Amino acid sequence: MATLPADKIKIIETFGPHLARSTGRRLDGGAEPDKIVKTHCCFCGQQCGIQLLVKDNQVIGFEPWMDFPFNQGKLCPKGVKRYLQGSHRDRLLHAYRRDESVTDGFAPLEYERAISRVADEINRIQSRYGNDAFAILSGASLTTEKAYLMGKFAHMCLRTSNIDYNGRLCMVSAAAGNKKAFGVDRGSNPWSDILKAEVVWISGANVAECAPITTDYVWQARENGAKIIVVDPRITPVARTCDLFLPIKPGRDVALFNGILHLMIENDWLDHDFINKETVGFDGVAAHVSEWTPKKTAEITGIAERAIRQAAEWWGTAKTSFLMHARGIEHHSHGVQNVLGAINLVLASGRLGREGCGYSTITGQGNGQGGREHGQKCDQLPGARDISNPEHRAYIAQVWGINPDEIPQAGVDAYEIFRKIDQGEIKGLLTICFNPVVSLPDNSFIRRMLEKLDFYVAIDFFLSETARYADVVLPGSLHEEDEGVVATAEGRVIKINKAIDCPGAARQDWRIVQDIARALGRERGFTFKSPGEIFTELREASRGGVADYSGITYEKIERQYGVFWPCPSDDHPGTPRLFEAGSWNPIAQGKGRFYFPDGKARFNVARYAPPAEDVDAQYPIMLTTGRVVSQFLSGTQTRRIGPLVDHYPEPRIEIHPALAERLGITDGDWAIVESRRGSCTLRAQVVKTIRPDTIFIPYHWAGERSVNQVTVSAQDPISKIPEYKVCAVRIKKSAGAPEYAAQLEPQQ
């Protein structure tokens, strides 16, 4: 059913991506806004405060929000230009159905008829093939209310176990590692602790481009006397002026962490008191890292031994410190092991749970934190509860007013959902806030699977490259058209405020989901009148859980500029810093500061393994992927904003001159990158800022520009995160420009 309309150019003509630029009153410096709305950026996990200027139900510009404490007015270029996503010519204004008779493949459909059609198809598929045959893919850019509702919709209304979300591509290795070590999955510290650290260790995080505002925290820490250590295969803008740069070979992070711990033990740079009183498992880890001598660590990581020794000394002897990492160590087939290796360094130092002593992943998506707490993950129930835990099921069943047996068991991860389509087990799919055709690895497989579906419905505000495969498209809402909370990288719950109404027949996403429930005849539990009502239930559902929101209100968020969870009662101010001495949590019940029955943190043996696909004679180069500052995720929004596309129009292959020269490639040449999965032809950018055995390509583009045609779908066995950060490729100079270069604009 869901095959791509034949004429791609026609779809692009109708649905874009086209570029929006400031015109009309958006260029009129004298235009007085009707209102100024304090809200947050719609993009990354830092969730900078911003004020949107609104006139006649249109966002016409922005004004820095200087009072919001995290960013104090600062914004990256995406935040500055995000307002151009509104009133966009590509905006979906009504529902569509697939129509093979029209050249762009879609015909408008009256909203209620679209909802009925979706309900009929869900009924048809589930009655014929079982409840699990209909799957949902959701996203972590949704507000927490919506994320909660998606989980409830899957588990209570559709009773399918198969719901997962795009955080599977993003935060799950950190989440799994944190749960194994601390029993809780949240950034441990507010960013203000970075400023008081003597050493800031940044592993696999292109801070300047992916979390730009964090740069000021890092630089300010250095002004205050901190040493900055950056571990990355590329000299990123933050690495350029750090104090110690460790140019690690992609996929070898755990080896480095083990090697550092080896030196900490050898030199007795350990906090024995903390290790003895607050942790378990150190001896096993110590035995494991004994083999990780500096020599072996240098051989495996590709970093000079003297640099490893220097890093260990700085880290080992610091009085305060902050360790940060991001997708660079997490996007691996052993991503959880990398995270555990990093946490072992923090635990051995004892520098956690006090001022200037911190550890955190830098969460990627806008609601990367909140979106992974309340039940849209395949194995989770609200309040960061476990779907396989009978007590947890009983509690949520009581909140929802159903029998615990009615809640399905754990489903499978986002990539596995596509494999189950291949196996014929999943026949129907609903997506929201997820563009897997661009964002999942080995995406020719993803495209084939979408074509194989019996029925596919997409809720979206623009027709994403994935939604092009849909049988029915429902017009959802942009960030500024709804309200609700999100949790930032710091664990700060903040409030997104509505600036404008949805245009045309577009609806707020939670209304669409409830309309489907109503059409299915199962509207009980889906009659919320506002995000505030959903939040009230969410607070109750989270009560007593690890991610306890029960004491958070919209009003308290506004008054305090956000509330850090856990916040278990109305008079509780929230918890900016986790794991403080004497702190209470519902698992330890006062026995200790970590979220285990004995209150102690866990050292976990972190095992090194090479990447799932290592280089060989056929494919001798490592490919690593990532982001650029002017684009965000799959580009559904940012590839439609002219000034952002101008900044960095299309992906380039970063390649070191030593490698480029050997292959006869010069700067600006078209080059073909090939793996066992596929190939893409892009222009080369010859730079000395990358390891000579590695090339880098950013992933925000679709179609023939998509590097995910090449990447590998190997996943971490625990977190199920794909290994975006390393696979084996070969590269050669192209005889000429690829066909697409003349046919399509850069963003298309």
In whole angstroms, what is the distance from residue 194 CA to residue 359 CA? 9
φ, ψ of residue 626 to 5 degrees: the values are 180, -155
φ, ψ of residue 448 to 5 degrees: the values are -60, -40
3-state SS, 182-219, equals HCCCCCCCCHHHHHHCCEEEEECCCHHHHCCCHHHHHH
Minimal distance, residue 636 CB to other proteins, in Å: 19
Of 57 and 215, the one with the shorter C-beta distance to other proteins is 215
In whole angstroms, what is the distance from residue 190 CA to residue 217 CA? 11
Minimal distance, residue 639 CB to other proteins, in Å: 16
Minimal distance, residue 551 CB to other proteins, in Å: 32
Comparing CA positions, the residue from 488, 408, 431, 452 lying closest to residue 189 is 488
SS3 category, 391:
helix
Minimal distance, residue 683 CB to other proteins, in Å: 13
Of 45 and 411, the one with the shorter C-beta distance to other proteins is 45
In whole angstroms, what is the distance from residue 627 CA to residue 207 CA? 11
Of 412 and 655, the one with the shorter C-beta distance to other proteins is 655
Of 217 and 619, the one with the shorter C-beta distance to other proteins is 217
Minimal distance, residue 26 CB to other proteins, in Å: 8
Of 83 and 282, the one with the shorter C-beta distance to other proteins is 83
Minimal distance, residue 625 CB to other proteins, in Å: 18
Q: Is the dihedral of CA 96, 98, 100, 106 positive or negative?
A: positive
DSSP 8-state class, residue 137 = E
Minimal distance, residue 216 CB to other proteins, in Å: 5
Q: Checking phi first, is residue 213 left (phi over 0); if not, alpha (psi -120 to 50) or beta?
A: alpha
Instruction: Answer whether the bond into residue 17 is a cis peptide, omega within 30°.
Output: yes
Of 284 and 620, the one with the shorter C-beta distance to other proteins is 620
Minimal distance, residue 617 CB to other proteins, in Å: 22
Of 284 and 668, the one with the shorter C-beta distance to other proteins is 668
Minimal distance, residue 406 CB to other proteins, in Å: 48
Minimal distance, residue 237 CB to other proteins, in Å: 4
Minimal distance, residue 620 CB to other proteins, in Å: 17
In whole angstroms, what is the distance from residue 165 CA to residue 147 CA? 9
Minimal distance, residue 304 CB to other proteins, in Å: 4
Residue type, 114: A
Q: In the structure encoding, which two tokens stand for residue 206, read together?
A: 């292109």
Residue type, 445: F
φ, ψ of residue 485 to 5 degrees: the values are -105, 160
CA atoms within 13 A on the CB side of 702: 27
Of 303 and 519, the one with the shorter C-beta distance to other proteins is 303
Minimal distance, residue 48 CB to other proteins, in Å: 9
Cβ distance 464 to 480 under 8 Å? Answer: no
DSSP 8-state class, residue 477 = -
Of 1 and 80, the one with the shorter C-beta distance to other proteins is 80
Of 246 and 446, the one with the shorter C-beta distance to other proteins is 246
Q: In the structure encoding, which two tokens stand for residue 629, read together?
A: 């500052």
Comparing CA positions, the residue from 448, 470, 475 lying closest to residue 5 is 470
In whole angstroms, what is the distance from residue 551 CA to residue 540 CA? 9
DSSP 8-state class, residue 94 = S
Of 514 and 625, the one with the shorter C-beta distance to other proteins is 625
Of 587 and 687, the one with the shorter C-beta distance to other proteins is 687
DSSP 8-state class, residue 708 = G
Diameter of the chain measured on Cα atoms: 74
CA atoms within 13 A on the CB side of 336: 19
Minimal distance, residue 83 CB to other proteins, in Å: 9
Q: In the structure encoding, which two tokens stand for residue 708, read together?
A: 């995910």
In whole angstroms, what is the distance from residue 566 CA to residue 550 CA? 8
Distance from first CA to last CA of the chain, Å, rounded? 24
Of 40 and 288, the one with the shorter C-beta distance to other proteins is 40
Comparing CA positions, the residue from 549, 429, 435 lying closest to residue 487 is 549
> Applying CB under 8 A, which residues contact other proteins?
22, 26-30, 61-62, 64, 66, 73-77, 79-81, 208-209, 212-213, 215-216, 219-220, 222-223, 235-241, 245-247, 302-304, 306-307, 629-630, 643-644, 647, 656-658, 667, 685-692
Of 192 and 689, the one with the shorter C-beta distance to other proteins is 689
Cβ distance 45 to 368 under 8 Å? Answer: yes
Of 247 and 722, the one with the shorter C-beta distance to other proteins is 247
Minimal distance, residue 311 CB to other proteins, in Å: 12
In whole angstroms, what is the distance from residue 289 CA to residue 298 CA? 14
- 680: β partners: 673
